[in-house]
Amino acid sequence: MWHTYERIPYAYWAMGRPILIVDDDPLITEALASLLDLKGFECSTAANGREAIDAISRQRPRLVFLDLQMPVLDGASVVKELRARGESVPIVLMSAALDLAARASELGVPAYLSKPFSDVDLLSVIERFAAA
């Protein structure tokens, strides 16, 4: 599945602030966290939107990978609540939904990953945020 294991030069960008992975599927959160750990990133995970909002308030993550469809509080509701609170954490939406690009645009989220996605896609998104 994941085919590149060397640390990446822009891992320093997130030093001291984790990348938060939010998904109700533990296989996805574990796989993404393992890959990012191998690449030198600190990660944390949340299983639903409510946990994500709490983690964002506590941890101030550098970047959030946020599943769109989850129980308790879905990804769209998380984005809306964070915006209402004035939080400006960068978010990448993740979903298998066919209308993901439109949903991301509606929510004002500039980045998204359509499931399933590759490690190259994931790392490209991180590199784009690190370069900004």
Task: Give yes or no for residue 2 having a pLDDT over 50.
Answer: no
For residue 99, the enclosing domain spans 17-131
91-108 pLDDT, tens digit per residue, is 999 999 999 999 999 999
Distance CA 13, CA 86 (A): 23
Question: CATH no. for residue 109?
Answer: 3.40.50.2300
Give pTM, 2 decimals. Answer: 0.90
Distance CA 47, CA 118 (A): 21
Three-class HEC string of 56-75: HHHHCCCEEEEECCCCCCCH
Does 57 reside within a domain? yes
Does 4 reside within a domain? no
- Quote the number of domains for the chain: 1
Contact (CB, 8 A) for 88 and 132: no
Does 8 reside within a domain? no
The model's confidence at residue 131, banded by pLDDT at 50, 70 and 90, is confident
Does 9 reside within a domain? no
Does 37 reside within a domain? yes
Does 10 reside within a domain? no
Strand ranges inside 15-115, DSSP E? 19-22, 43-46, 63-67, 91-95, 111-114
18-68 pLDDT, tens digit per residue, is 999 999 999 999 999 999 998 889 999 999 999 999 999 999 999 999 999
Does 6 reside within a domain? no
Does 53 reside within a domain? yes
pLDDT at 113: 98
